[in-house]
Amino acid sequence: MTETEKTIDAKVERKAQINIGNVDAEVRKQWEDVKNSKRLLANHELVAELLNFYIANNEHAFNEQEQKIVIQAKDIEQMTTPQLIKKATLAYCRKLIKDHREGRTGHKKTIAAEEKLQATIQTIMDDNAVKPHCDKLYINQTSIKNFAKTRNQNFSQDGIKRYLEKNRDMLNEYHRQNDLLENHNKEMSVLRRINKRAEQLQEKEELQHDGL
């Protein structure tokens, strides 16, 4: 064997060694035995082998009918078990996220958040009932977020959008009855700034007049 071949063999041998110094000696011996029996050259190959073994044996967590379904699906798609599990898991997760975003989930946290949002919007309506028209709020995403902040509350953008969409007809009627147009909040905000500026100018003029 040439020196070059010896060097290559030495590198392969080092690659095949296991760095598991803190592992029980018996477990380490079993690891080496499995690797040698499989004629694997590197640890990553052994890990892949053990992972496939683990996944394959976990198929027994299914009952007989469920196992048949899994086998049929694998045959149709010509997939390995890991590929099938990954695809099915991702599909389920995407559906769960979409249902949550669109309010089609009965999760306790989602229901609780919707109830809090409903209570906050009812508070806005109660406040509107006793305020002059210029101080009333047109109920939209921005006004809900800003109002909630004054009460140390925070609602997700998706949650507010769902509420506004589901209650569109009710809110349209509410705004009509209270003579609130879509640009009401912005117009009243501008008007308040103008009035404040006018008051400041008037105070300044009065001070100047008193100084004469």
Mean pLDDT, rounded, for 92-114: 73
Share of the chain above pLDDT 90, in %: 33
What pLDDT shows up at residue 205?
A: 80
Domain locations along the chain:
3-48, 75-105, 108-211
What pLDDT shows up at residue 16?
A: 46
Place of tokens 């306790």: 108
pTM of the model: 0.48
What pLDDT shows up at residue 18?
A: 44
Question: Residue 37, SS3?
Answer: helix
Q: Share the mean pLDDT of the chain.
A: 77
Mean pLDDT, rounded, for 182-200: 90
> For residue 54, is pLDDT > 80?
no
